[in-house]
Amino acid sequence: MAGGQAGILTNSRIRDRGVLDLAMSRVTLETLPDYARYLIAAAEGASASYPVTRKIRLPRLELTGHLGPGVLADALGHAFVETRGDQPESSRCRIFIAHPGIHGIPEPARWGDAHFTEHGFAKRLAEAGLRGHHFHDLDFWQFYDPQRRVGVQLMGSADAFPPWEPGAPLRAFLHWEYAARGMRLAHAGTLGANGKGVLLAGAGGAGKSGTVAAGLLNGLDSVGDDYVLIDLANGVTARPLFSTLKQDPQGFARLGLKRRVPANAPLNWQGKHAFHIGDIAPRPVPAMLDIVALMVPHISGGGASSIMPVSRRDAMIALAPSGIAQMPGERESGFRFFSDLTRLLPCYRLSLGTQPQEIAGTIAEFLARGAS
Amino acid sequence: MRHADVYAIASKDVVFESFDGEAVVLDLSSGKYFGFSDSGSKIWQALSSGVDAQALIGLTAGASTIGPAELDRFVSQLVELRLLTRSDAPAQPLPGDLLAELAATSEPLNVSIHDDLADLIIVDPIHEVEEPLGWPAVKQAS
């Protein structure tokens, strides 16, 4: 391991440590950091073999993806809201999306330790200065070295990725990179006007996506309906990362999205319509929203929407669990981050009526009152 | 209860934060969250900082008096949830402001468990994708 090249294993060292043997067999908690470094080294070593390179400009980050053609390459081309203009304090990271069809890339190993916990897996890697995630069904591995800003996503074949990956590609890597800088991907929707916005927190099914779509269709802005980048450095700000919006067929019909969005694409893995924020947004997606409130949406079934105070404890429990569960590793830092966020904002329960225009009007009125 | 009932946080994986006096606890190892009522939050804070449980009996909380059976149930629950464990450390004195803070509470001793997004994977995993979550929930093999 040469000085500044922390984490890179040379071929001879790989052989010495038996990591090649390990790569062909099963990974245990003990060998996990070596396997992660081996894969990162193998992916970097094959850098000339990736047919496609995609550069994506995100808030304070330029991500370069090296991969083959196909669904993921297409997703890297259209699933992000790219940042415009010059960016101060921007960093660069490289992610290799690899599979054995690319020269020099090994077959993925299997998890061989009988005892697996998400937390134990993440803790073991964190002790070695690394981050990672493993999806057992597909022998799908993601490893990231935040110090060197290099990551690898190893798949058994070009299309052996989890079905949610194209909607929010490389989400785990963005989570690790931004967490290392004190920012955070939150599992939350957003709506805003005139640069001010609200964060909509809650697990799937709480009404986040439908509320965001209702707002966009009725003149409000949004920086995302599922995952947004939160920074607490100067108040609470939310920035866009992913352009994908989702709606189940009932919501799609109720919101009249058929008239706005081409509905001939197949439903996604959740049986939902997937489309892009630009399809329904009234204006270009803002670079940032100053978040003025945390709202917990709730489908009330009643006629009119309402916004009532809710305890910070309940808001935190609505916000944090899905954000932490869906982002591998960094649990304690996430808990502290979301706690700080919750303390910085007034918290409300948003009881959702049935009419999209009325829901959007309720939030617009709240923002106008709060911003005045 | 024994002569001195002193407890400590069960592991380094149990972390907590307080919001306007109400505690939220996360067990990092399992991903389970615990939300405490206002009086439960005060008792959690006292117990987790080493106050003798017996010193809490008879105090006013949630518009009533904390009885031994009620406290015993609450403490047993926290031990079963692996949030607290018995400690041999010397008991700490009651914080000076605890009595007034407890007296100002309005809810009974209670902790709610939020484990719908907790890790379910313990052994050789069998995965199932829970569609509403947008992320795989991993079910424990039987």
A115–B122 C-beta distance less than 8 A = yes
Length of chain B, please? 142
The full set of domain ranges for chain A reads: 11-180, 184-371
In this prediction, residue A9 carries a pLDDT of 44
Contact yes or no for A325 and B31 at CB 8 A: yes
CB B48 within 8 A of CB B42: no
Do the Cβ atoms of A136 and B127 come within 8 Å?
yes
Distance between B91 CA and the closest CA of chain A, angstroms: 28
Q: What is the pLDDT of residues A303-360, one digit of tens each?
A: 899 999 999 999 999 998 877 777 777 888 899 999 999 999 999 999 999 899 999 9
Query: pTM for the complete prediction?
Result: 0.88
- Per CATH, domain A184-371 is 1.10.10: no
| Mean pLDDT, range A59-71, rounded to an integer | 96
**Interchain contact B107–A (C-beta under 8 A):** no
Q: Please count the residues of chain A.
A: 372
B113 touches chain A (CB under 8 A): no
Q: Is the pLDDT of residue A4 over 60?
A: no
* pLDDT computed for residue B120 by the predictor: 47
pLDDT, tens digit (0-9, with 9 covering 90-100), for A75-93: 999 999 999 887 777 899 9
**What pLDDT shows up at residue A86?**
76
Res A85: pLDDT: 80
Q: What share of chain B is helix, strand, coil (3-state, %, to 5)?
A: 25, 30, 45
- A24 pLDDT tier (thresholds 50, 70, 90): low
CB of A314 closer than 8 Å to CB of A296 = yes
Q: What's the pLDDT band for A15 if we cut at 50, 70, 90?
A: very low
Helix (H, G, I), strand (E, B) or coil at B31: coil
Tell me which chain A residue has its CA closest to the CA of residue B24. Answer: A313
Question: For chains A and B, what is the number of CB pairs under 8 angstroms?
Answer: 106
3-state SS assignment for residue B69 = helix
Indicate the residue of B24, B119, B133 with minimum beta-carbon distance to A118.
Answer: B119
Considering only the beta carbons, identify the residue of B23, B123, B138 that sits closest to A115.
Answer: B123
pLDDT in tens, chain B (142 residues): 455 799 999 999 999 999 999 999 999 888 889 999 999 999 999 999 999 999 999 999 988 999 999 999 999 999 999 999 999 999 999 998 999 999 999 999 999 998 765 654 333 333 333 444 444 444 433 3
Q: Which of B14, B70, B62 is nearest to B42 (CA)?
A: B62
CB atoms within 10 A of CB B96: 7
Report helix, strand or coil for B102: helix
- The answer to whether the CB atoms of A339 and B17 lie below 8 A apart is yes
Confidence of residue A260 (pLDDT cuts 50, 70, 90): confident
CA distances from A62 to A182, A248, B86 (A): 17, 33, 51
Asked if the ipTM is above 0.90, the reply is no
Secondary structure of chain A in HEC code, one letter for each residue: CCCCCCCCCCHHHHHHCCHHHHHHCEECCCCHHHHHHHHHHHHHHCHHHCCEEEEEEECCEEEEEEECCCHHHHHHHHCECCCCCCCCCCEEEEEEEECCCCCCCCCCCEECCCCCCHHHHHHHHHHCCCEEEEEHHHCEEEEEECCCCEEEEECCCCCCCCCCHHHCCCHHHHHHHHHHCCCEEEEEEEEEECCEEEEEECCCCCCHHHHHHHHHHCCCECCCCCEEEEECECECEEECCECEEEECHHHHHHCCHHHCCCCCCCCCCCCCEEEEHHHHCCCCCCCCEEEEEEEEEEECCCCCCEEEECCHHHHHHHHHHHHHHCCCCCHHHHHHHHHHHHHHCCEEEEEECCCHHHHHHHHHHHHHHHHC
Instruction: Pick B19's closest partner by Cβ from A324, A332, A342.
Output: A342
Which residues 6+ apart lie within 8 Å of A192 measured at CB? Answer: A198, A220, A221, A222, A223, A286, A289, A367
For residue range A99-132, list pLDDT tens digits in order: 999 999 999 999 886 678 888 899 999 999 999 9
B25 and B36 Cβ atoms separated by less than 8 Å: yes
Q: Report, as an integer, the average pLDDT of A130-144.
A: 93
pLDDT in tens, A156-172: 999 999 998 999 999 99
* A170 Ramachandran zone, left/alpha/beta (phi>0; psi -120 to 50): left
pLDDT grade, residue A23 (50/70/90)? low
Interface of B with A in 11-50 (CB under 8 A): 13, 15, 17, 19-20, 22-24, 26, 28-31, 33, 35-36
Which residues lie below 8 Å from residue A5, measured CB to CB, with a gap of 6+?
A148
State the pLDDT at residue A21. 54
The residues with which A230 forms a beta bridge, in sequence order, are A184, A238
Whether the CB-CB separation of A177 and A93 falls below 8 Å is answered with yes
Rounded-to-integer distance, Cα B90 and Cα B93, Å: 10
